Structure 1
């Protein structure tokens, strides 16, 4: 098997970005990504058949370590307005997470 080694953002952008930005704003998706719930994207990547289990696992670990990297990759083909909309949503989720973690301190 010939496994392609590409950086996480590059292959996600190439394979998934157009579908992600082609539809309506996906608030539910940005919330899941923010929480590190990336199974939807892992399954989509695995379904392409272009990458071995190890490459998919490495991508998933990368996204869990830095969820924003997945969102940025998905927004590669987005226009400036859509990028801004997702950025505002991400910032709001960051604020909620900060307030929530401060409440438990």
Structure 2
């Protein structure tokens, strides 16, 4: 992980993890991140004033390539049970997405 992304991930953990986890384990939140709907997180980084435009762009690119990295940052302060619940939910969304893709290809 490059230094920019590591710093951004640490910031996301520090600033947003508690609120994200306190909102409860929701499929909708995981599905949005899984689909790459990360605009709110990128805007939060940009508006924080803590990162250069390059660092924000690098985080955006990395999270679009691997949305799970954003989820992992959001779960940085989560307890083990919560992290496992999110992991199971992520795998469920992965499976649903794969099934939908396979169904679309076969039609």
Which TM-score band (shorter chain)?
A: 0.7 to 0.9
Q: Which residue of 1 aligns with 2:72?
A: 72
* Post-superposition CA distance 1:27-78 (Å, at most 9, x none): 3221110001100111111121101222111101100000101101110100
Large movers: runs of 4+ above 6 Å: none
Under a length normalisation based on structure 2, what TM-score does the superposition of the two structures give? 0.83
Contact 2:5 2:59 in 1 (8 A): no
The unaligned stretches of length 5 or more in structure 1 are none
CA contact (8 A) 2:17 2:75 kept: yes
Counterpart position of 1:102: 102
Structure-1 residue corresponding to 2:37: 37
TM-score by length of 1: 0.85
How many residues end up aligned between the 2 structures?
Answer: 102
Q: CA RMSD in A?
A: 1.8
